[in-house]
């Protein structure tokens, strides 16, 4: 299966979003925009850069921006876009 991906076009940002296996929107692009990315003539901007919390320096497992996840008080949170993530079921390596 071929999965699409979008990368952040801001300087020095390694933000990216991989097409999920399942999403509510008709197109991956619509899903990307709904997740907080923007797209204009200069390219894609990830949520971390949009919020000013980026750029994403280190790749991790954030499903939204591709940034690193840290766990604080049992709550997973992205270090780059500060998205709170549902607690995972154990160690999910990929």
Q: Which residues bind Zn ion (CB under 5 A)?
A: 8, 10, 13, 15, 46, 49, 54-55, 62, 64-65, 67, 78, 80-81, 83
Cβ-contact 44, 8 below 8 angstroms = yes
* Least separation in angstroms between CB 82 and Zn ion: 7
Nearer to Zn ion among residue 32 and residue 78 (C-beta): 78
Secondary structure of 19-56 in HEC code, one letter for each residue: CCCCCCCCCHHHHHHHCCCEEECCEEECHHHHHCCCCC
Nearer to Zn ion among residue 13 and residue 32 (C-beta): 13
């Amino acid at each position: 299966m071929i999965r699409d991906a979008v990368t952040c076009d801001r300087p020095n940002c390694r933000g990216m979003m991989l097409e999920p296996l399942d999403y509510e929107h008709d197109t991956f692009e619509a899903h990307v925009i709904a997740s907080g990315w923007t797209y204009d003539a200069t390219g894609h901007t990830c949520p971390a850069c949009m919020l000013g919390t980026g750029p994403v320096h280190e790749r991790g497992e954030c499903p939204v921006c591709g940034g690193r996840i840290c766990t604080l008080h049992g709550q997973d949170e992205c270090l780059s876009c500060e998205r709170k993530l549902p607690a995972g079921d154990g160690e999910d390596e990929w």
